[in-house]
Chains A and B, each alone.
Chain A
Amino acid sequence: MSDHHDDLPRFNHPVSTKLLFGVFFSLIGLTVLTVVTSALWKVSELPEAFAFPVAMIIATMKAFLVCAFFMHMWWDKGFNVLAFLSSGLFVALFIGLTLMDSSHYQENIDSFPRNNVKQPVIVPINDGGNVEET
């Protein structure tokens, strides 16, 4: 919570250093967690389909900490919070609607003659030599 300074104007809410450091170390912890979990799916039996949602949930937790405490949203006016959070709604609409429409032009993409166009591909190093020799 913010400090209470009676001598400060009422729009001035300094956040206590204790809280700021707490948020910082939580953010570091979550960063380590997301790196660890990203490697987890390779070594464990857990289905890889969880990897992306888990990474996004951790990122959103970090985003919440930054928004709420570093950006003072916790103490900010409701209208400011609403304005900012509404951008998330519009991003979701943007991504969602585009995804729904994305297969529509796949035919045009597929019909593009790409067989003779050199394009970068990723291959194991040993195969590179083979291509040159053949």
Chain B
Amino acid sequence: MGLAKTRQSPGLLLLLKLETDMATVDAHADDHHHDDHDHPPFIAHHFDDAEQQFDSGKLGIWLFLVTEVLFFSGLFVAYTLYRNHHPEIFQQAHVFLDKYLGGLNTIVLLFSSLTMALAVRSAQLGRNKNCGIYILITMVCASMFLGVKAVEYSHKWDMGIWVRSSWSSDADSLSYGHHEGQLGIAKSLGVSDRLIWLSAIPAVLLAGSLIASVIGFVTKKELFGKFMLAMSVMVGGYFLGAGVGQVYQNVKEGSGDSHEHASLQEQQPMQLLAMTQEDQDHADDDKKSDDADHSHDEEHSHGSEKAEYDKEHPDPETLDRDIGIFFSIYYCMTGLHAIHIIAGIIALAWIYWRCLAGHWRSDYFGPVDYVGLYWHLVDLIWIYLFPLLYLID
């Protein structure tokens, strides 16, 4: 720690470097390639030494992470504003998010962060093989995260939950299930069709990487074969995650109650309907009259005189509800996060390739560190998304 304080920042180093370069520009005018330095491999010719290269890269990745935080902050502003104005929507909407699947994903992501940190440590000690193993585990966790996410998304699509705009543009498309205008409750056990379609992408990737791996080994390109084999293991993580999520979903739905969300909440099971304001008023009237003469003959409880009373005293909480905007925010936040996971997997695959090639050594591990920092940031954002979206009770 004491060491860090005495050292100069890369920015300052750069300035100093510029000054000395200006002073000695004549002396070095004919020496463009800095051949006077004893350059180890992997050090770009415009850097003096490994440390300067490492520090510059590190400053660069930290600045990139700053832009990432600001990038996400726009969505956090949308979330904060909407929750601030309509807290009731968030309390209603959370029953459609499963905190245990979200929690599972949190743990998967935290574990991937651990293996990433271990990978950085291995690279720092020049242990390429260990580093590769840790990177592979990190990638498997990443695609497992996406698998669980795919189960969550497809389950919502089955319930008819999309982003807000798709609801408003074509309200009739909400007809799904038994009643006109009802957003159906996903009722079936088994695998959703939408999940199968979504899984087609990783399935193609899995087949492709397996074939490429075989081709690599047959044509004696060992490195390529190994790499593609690892990629297929990585894609396998998706199916592991999707499988675990699906089994959980089926167990949850199959346990006792026929109502889908009965196990999620102690109160009444909820559903989504497409309604005009008028419909909403009717529904509220009916609900109140139902509650009032619950012990009486339920067949004749609708449209009672209670409705007249309720019309004069509208419940302000039932007005101005728009749960669709919550799900727009949900899809944007988790979707952007998922895109970052995919980008992370691609970056990790590059690191893995270089692990196989044995590039990392104690004076050259920067790329592992930088990708690690990016990966931890993705984890960091999820750390905030999880309580904000899943844990609203």
Contact = CB atoms under 8 A, between A and B. Distances in A.
Interface in B336-393: 362-363, 365, 369, 372-373, 376-377, 379-380, 383-384, 386-388, 391-393
B259 A124 contact: no
Given A34-B391, A58-B387, A115-B277, A124 B111 contact: no
A133 B117 CA distance: 59
A77 B274 contact: no
Given A66-B383, A84-B65, A121-B272, 8 more contacts: A14-B125, A27-B113, A35-B391, A38-B391, A51-B393, A71-B373, A121-B321, A122-B271
A56 B168 CA distance: 33
A97 B280 CA distance: 35
B251 interface: no
A28 B80 contact: no
- Max chain B Cβ within 10 angstroms of own Cβ: one of A55, A90, A125: A125
Given A66-B113, A77-B4, A78-B4, A125 B387 contact: no
A50 interface: no
21 contacts: A12-B362, A55-B387, A59-B387, A63-B380, A66-B113, A70-B372, A79-B11, A86-B66, A87-B66, A102-B85, A118-B174, A120-B324, A121-B275, A123-B273, A125-B185, A125-B268, A125-B270, A128-B182, A128-B271, A130-B302, A131-B273
B276 A115 contact: yes
B156 interface: no
Interface string B57-69: 0110011011001
Contacts of A124: 268-271, 287
A53 B58 CA distance: 33
Given A102-B85, A119-B274, A87 B70 contact: yes
Contact of B282 (A27, A59, A134): A134
Interface in B29-74: 50-51, 54-55, 58-59, 62-63, 65-66, 69-70, 73-74
Given A31-B106, A55-B387, A121 B323 contact: yes
Interface in A9-64: 9-15, 17, 20-21, 23-24, 27-28, 31, 34-35, 38-39, 41-42, 51, 55-56, 58-59, 62-63
Contacts of B277: 114-116
Contact of A94 (B4, B73, B111): B73
Nearest to B161: A120
Contacts of A11: 50-51, 54-55
Contact of B323 (A24, A35, A69, A120): A120
B114 A21 contact: yes
B69 A35 contact: no
B243 interface: no
Given A10-B51, A55-B387, A88-B69, A20 B4 contact: no
Contacts of A39: 393
Contact of A133 (B113, B276, B302): B302
B9 A79 contact: yes
A126 B302 contact: no
Contacts of A130: 282-283, 286-287, 290, 302
A123 B270 contact: yes
Contacts of A84: 62, 65-66, 69
Contact of B321 (A17, A122, A127): A122
A130 B299 CA distance: 11
Contact of B393 (A8, A42, A95): A42
B371 to A, nearest CB: 12
A117 B168 contact: yes
Interface string B251-290: 0000000010000000011111111111110110011001
A134 B275 CA distance: 13
A38 B91 CA distance: 12
B99 interface: yes
B84 A102 contact: yes
Interface string A87-105: 1101100110011001000
Contacts of B76: 91, 95
Contact of A34 (B9, B181, B270, B387): B387
Nearest to B68: A87
Contact of A12 (B174, B303, B365, B393): B365
A56 B272 contact: no
A131 B121 CA distance: 61
- Max chain A Cβ within 10 angstroms of own Cβ: one of B63, B70, B167, B273: B273
Contacts of A131: 179, 181, 273, 275, 279, 282-283, 286
B77 interface: yes
